[in-house]
Amino acid sequence: MLDLQALGRCLVTGAGGYLGRNLVAALARGGVPVRAFDRRIDVALPDAVDVQIGDVRDDEAVSRACVGIDTVFHCAAIIDTRTRAPERERAFVRDVNVGGTQRVLEAARAAGATRLVLTSSVNVVVDRAYAGADESVPYASLPPLDLYTESKAAAEKLVLEASSEGFFTTALRPGGIYGPGEPTHFPRVVREILRGLYVVRVGGGHGKADNVYIDDLVDAHLRAALALGPDGRANGRAYFISDGAPMSYFDFFAPTAVALGKKPPTIGFPAWPLRVAAAGAEWLSFVGVHPFLTRMELFKLVHDHWFSIAAAERDLGWRPRFGPTEGMAECEPWVRELAATMPRVRRPHWGWWLAILPGLALTFALAFSPTAYAAFTAHVPLFPRSVVIGIALAALAAHVGEAAFAFTKAKRAGLPTAAGWGLQTLALGYPSLRLLLRELDERQRASAERAGGEPPSEDSA
């Protein structure tokens, strides 16, 4: 049991986030006076916590938050892994991650605080592959750098350079943070599993990454703060924090797939098509569409980026208590609850996708590209091109009509996934529409049974 009283009165910025709220709760349990600071705090915090709403871009709000504080845990940050984005959005990320850190440093020193722990990230050095490297590796510099890597590296430099007599600082570099209630990665993975998209190992799925369970990360923050002081071993240093068991993302989330009744992916898929897609997706930022995948996310999927935690074990007296097996076991009940509440669009068997999408692509190429038609018919006898054009237009009309019908039916039934059903039916046509009608029929039956009435007949739509 750690004696946290030496930390005095604590401030946690970003207290509405996943790490922040867990850190606040741990400090409160330890009997430490704690102040929670964030733009928005939508979660319940212990009654004894002093909650202040404010923005790290606001000098006055940050100064008020630091009054009377002895130890600062600076967790507030924006995670944005785009390498391309409009300048307004780039400036916002810099102002929060770099400018916000500078404001917190200045206000903490002015208020007489003596300790500051920054939540940094492994991203600050990830511009190339690493396997077991230590903290001596350089900051990321190889282009293209994403907004998060660039801004967090700048923020970490500010914090470590600020360590001095009477004001001691350190930075922790966690890998992927996970645990029950994690609001970003788990929902995304669960959604992909339920949609049937978790089916291939991109780039062979060999790239290994670090992860850390939330309780271990909170413990590392507390120990890092206690390791600061006139003779502190953590003064002015950064530390990698993980469970010490690097794994590929596909292996790491395999237990989640199994918990949801799905098979983990075993088939490899080349990374280059996704590189093209990710590069294109980032350009969509300029028309207001957030990319489904960024180049940094893809890089981390296919390349090793795991690091030694020996320095944290030596200087902080910290060791992870949760490995992947134990951590995922803790997450499983919550994952099931998450999946049960997540709206989904049922996916037809993958065979339909392989049959219909390439078939449509070929039909439209032959119909509207004279070159493609000439090259194809040079080897394979085919209808006159006018007939192919007619078939293509009929297929287009059928798919558009079925998509409109699917969207309307789903919308009238109150399904939050109406748009998803419409888009899937636009691509696949009847196989998708059939699944929707089956789902609506099942809902109608379940509603009738709950009401004590007779279920509809098999012919009901």
Whether the per-residue pLDDT at 456 is higher than 60: the answer is: no
Task: Please answer whether residues 146 and 295 qualify as being in contact, where contact means their C-beta atoms are separated by less than 8 angstroms.
Answer: yes
Q: Position of tokens 């938050």?
A: 65
Measured at the CA of 373, the angle between CA 423 and CA 393, to 5 degrees, comes to: 35
Look at residue 289 in the predicted model and tell me its pLDDT: 74
- Residue 461 within a domain: no
For 241-271, the pLDDT digits (tens) are 999 999 999 999 999 999 999 899 988 888 8
* Same domain for 176 and 112: yes
Using 50, 70 and 90 to split pLDDT, how confident is the model at 222? very high
Look at residue 67 in the predicted model and tell me its pLDDT: 98
Task: Please answer whether residues 13 and 38 qualify as being in contact, where contact means their C-beta atoms are separated by less than 8 angstroms.
Answer: yes
Residue 143, Cβ density class (10 Å: 0-12 exposed, 13-18 middle, ≥19 buried): exposed
* Same domain for 388 and 328: no
| DSSP per residue, 251-289 | HHTHHHHHHTT-PPP-EEE-SHHHHHHHHHHHHGGGGT-
* Same domain for 394 and 308: no
Q: What is the mean pLDDT of residues 273-279?
A: 86
* Same domain for 172 and 33: yes
* Same domain for 117 and 71: yes
Whether the per-residue pLDDT at 199 is higher than 90: the answer is: no
Using 50, 70 and 90 to split pLDDT, how confident is the model at 461? very low
Look at residue 194 in the predicted model and tell me its pLDDT: 81
* Same domain for 214 and 145: yes
- Residue 460 within a domain: no
Please report, as a single letter, which amino acid is at residue 90: R
Catalytic machinery residues = 148
* Same domain for 389 and 265: no
| DSSP per residue, 209-252 | B-EEEHHHHHHHHHHHHHT-STT-TTTTEEEEE--S--B-HHHH
* Same domain for 425 and 372: yes
SS3 (DSSP) at 309: coil
Look at residue 458 in the predicted model and tell me its pLDDT: 38
Average pLDDT along the chain: 92
Look at residue 350 in the predicted model and tell me its pLDDT: 84
- Considering 341, 361, 381, which residue would you say is the last residue of a domain? 341
Using 50, 70 and 90 to split pLDDT, how confident is the model at 128? very high
pTM over 0.85: no
Whether the per-residue pLDDT at 457 is higher than 80: the answer is: no
CATH number for the domain that contains residue 282 = 3.40.50.720
* Same domain for 174 and 28: yes
Count: domains in the chain: 2
Mean pLDDT is highest, among 238-252, 345-359, 419-433, for: 238-252
Q: Which domain holds residue 43?
A: 4-341
* Same domain for 415 and 361: yes
Look at residue 452 in the predicted model and tell me its pLDDT: 62
Measured at the CA of 109, the angle between CA 108 and CA 111, to 5 degrees, comes to: 65
Give the contacts of 134 (CB within 8 A, at least 6 positions apart).
240, 307, 308, 310, 311
- Residue 233 within a domain: yes
* Same domain for 354 and 333: no
Q: Is the peptide bond before 381 cis (omega within 30 degrees of 0)?
A: no
Whether the per-residue pLDDT at 13 is higher than 90: the answer is: yes
For 359-396, the pLDDT digits (tens) are 888 999 999 999 988 998 888 888 898 999 999 999 99
- Residue 234 within a domain: yes
